[in-house]
Amino acid sequence: MNKIAKYTNAMLTGLTLTLMVSCELNEGSKGIVSSDSYYTTKSGVNNGVVGLYGYYHRSLGDASLFKDKLSAFTGADDLTAPATKGLYTEADQFYLTGGNSYIKVIWQNEYRAIMACNELIQKVNPANFDTTFYNDAIGNARFLRGILYLDLVNIFGDVPMMVTSEINPNIAKSSVKTILKEVVIPDLEFAKQHVINTERDVPANVQARQINGKASKTAAQAYLAKAYMALCGWPAKEDTPENWKKVKENTKAIINAGAYGLMDDYAQNFGYMGTPGPAVQPWEGNEEAVWSRTCNASQAAFYGLRSRYYGAFWLEWMDFYLEWHFYEKIPNNYRKQFSTTSDKNWSYLGFNNWPYCATYNHPTIMKFFWGGMTWDIYRKARSLSRTAKQENYPEYIGFEHDYENSSDIPEMRYSEVLLMYAEACARTGEDVSDGIEKLNWVRRRAYANGITAKKDAIGDAITAGTLTKQYWKTATPVVDYPQSGETDLIKAIIDERSYEFIGELGGVRWFDLTRLEMVGTATSARDSREIELKGNPADQANWRMLIPASEGGYNNNLK
């Protein structure tokens, strides 16, 4: 498990007390110190920084909210939910209410995490510490605050902009553009300059799978690029060559640094590591995972870092599916075969009786299945006894529970960096051929040299001899851009993003549809088998979740 998760159990207590008492207690009050005093030592600051990650990982509420956040993204065509799952279908039907309890918890807990960041930023005195230590601590807090606000504006649009630890009961909403320009971008720029994380920034350490759940310069650069993309699109609409050059500059820096790369097997991003055996490594911290939500089920009783995200796509309680028209347009390559199924067979795993597509009459998103797999299901798939499995492949998979597990959830992968870079090249007209090559890297990895995932042989479909390391850097005419009929490079990039990130926590498809004002167009192809629409998908008022109605009861400015 990521190091940051291991230590948060002890450290979070200190930060929680700090936030609770900072305005009420003075030093010496029955052994509890004020936050001003708490942050006067390096140990106090270190404890506080680690505690921030506890707040951040809890910002989706309890374990189930890791998956329930997807309810904000079901308006996109890569996600739908059963009609019986009302809170998940509000966005899918474009019929939003301020009473969605899942969205309310996300709102409340993300702001709690932001206020924790504000507390540390405001209370740590630079005069007490050397510059490098101080800037690293503040950089971690500003990184988290930046990506939290980026998340909030993607889900809610205009929201209150809180940048101090003082509570303003009458605070008004700020525009998406203001928040991006005054908080998100400056915070991520600061983190990019000052955070220190050699395990996740130095190529040898990343490729050796050293893991660390703290911010890195690489992660800051990736989210900075995404923030500038958001600034260029709806509703900010500051679509300038200068902003696209910022996207290009930050993504190109990550590519040139050489620390990160694509996993040769797409499936390796979601727990599957190819042929079992002693050479198989734990999947956490892989060289494609630029940023992940870190989870640790063994400590969940204290601060709720169990992951049920993978359980959203698991067997009879599956909460999310693919819309039919989206599924049918996905290129039928290895990535699709691993990621989805629309009948009773999942060729990659060898099921011949998978009833859940028929139960809900929708294609099933399968790529997360490994993260929620039990020994019983695995044994049925592989025809191995549990004893034989444990004796021969003790390090393989290793998930400890079927839906409450320690599986880290990737939020920013290197493939997204490549596709952001490709789009920036296309829009600026600079290094276009290089941008096309990066698009082709992702396409080639999806194609996997034409391999078809075999029906009954996990790990036999892809072997070390079949896919050589970084084969995706070699020209592959059958998939390289442009193919017959492809004339729009930007459309090809946006389409590739939609296929690559199906159902992932970052909400990439919804981010693209809204920033490019494509929601109505995408929904126009909706199949008759989908859940009935109640609102108008072309109405931009239906593109952002409503601020919880309870907030308006406390503050008229948020009604």
**Phi, psi (deg, nearest 5) at residue 348:** -65, -35
Predicted model pTM: 0.90
pLDDT score of 353: 62
Token representation of residue 248: 């290009």
pLDDT in tens, the chain (559 residues): 444 544 333 333 333 333 333 333 233 334 444 567 789 999 999 999 998 988 888 776 655 677 889 999 999 999 999 888 889 999 999 999 999 998 998 999 999 999 999 999 999 999 999 999 999 999 999 999 999 999 999 999 999 999 999 989 999 999 999 999 999 999 999 999 999 999 999 999 999 888 788 999 999 999 999 999 999 999 999 999 999 999 999 999 999 999 999 998 888 788 644 443 333 444 567 899 999 987 776 654 445 567 778 878 876 678 899 999 999 999 999 899 888 888 766 655 555 566 677 777 899 888 887 666 655 555 555 555 555 544 554 334 444 555 676 777 889 999 999 999 999 999 999 999 999 999 999 999 999 998 875 433 344 334 444 678 899 999 999 999 999 999 999 999 999 999 999 999 999 999 999 999 999 999 998 999 999 999 999 999 999 999 999 998 889 999 8
Given the structure tokens 């640094």, which residue do they identify?
Answer: 257
Token representation of residue 302: 């204290």
Q: What is the 3-state secondary structure (H, E, C) of 124-163?
A: CCHHHCCHHHHHHHHHHHHHHHHHHHHHHHHHHCCEECCC
pLDDT score of 299: 54
Among 132, 103, 117, residue whose Cα is nearest residue 42: 132
pLDDT score of 244: 98
**Phi, psi (deg, nearest 5) at residue 219:** -65, -40
Given the structure tokens 């500051």, which residue do they identify?
Answer: 238
pLDDT score of 407: 74
Q: Are 119 and 143 contacting, i.e. CB atoms less than 8 angstroms apart? A: no
pLDDT score of 426: 98
**Which helix (H) or strand (E) element contains residue 17?**
helix 3-21
- Sign of the four-CA dihedral 549, 551, 553, 557: negative
Q: Are 361 and 303 contacting, i.e. CB atoms less than 8 angstroms apart? A: no
Q: Are 113 and 148 contacting, i.e. CB atoms less than 8 angstroms apart? A: yes
Token representation of residue 202: 């130095």
Among 21, 5, 101, residue whose Cα is nearest residue 55: 5
Hey, what amino acid is at 549? A
pLDDT score of 376: 57
Which segments of 241-332 does DSSP mark as H helices, in order? 241-257, 300-303, 324-329
Greatest distance between any 2 Cα atoms in the chain: 74
> CATH classification of 3-312+409-558, choosing from 3.40.109.10, 1.20.59.10, 1.25.40.390, 3.30.429.10?
1.25.40.390
Which residue spans within 299-345 are E strands per DSSP? Answer: 340-341
Hey, what amino acid is at 511? F
**Which helix (H) or strand (E) element contains residue 50?**
helix 42-57
Angle separating helix axes 414-428 and 241-257, nearest 10 degrees: 140
**Which helix (H) or strand (E) element contains residue 445?**
helix 432-447
- Domain borders along the chain are 3-312+409-558
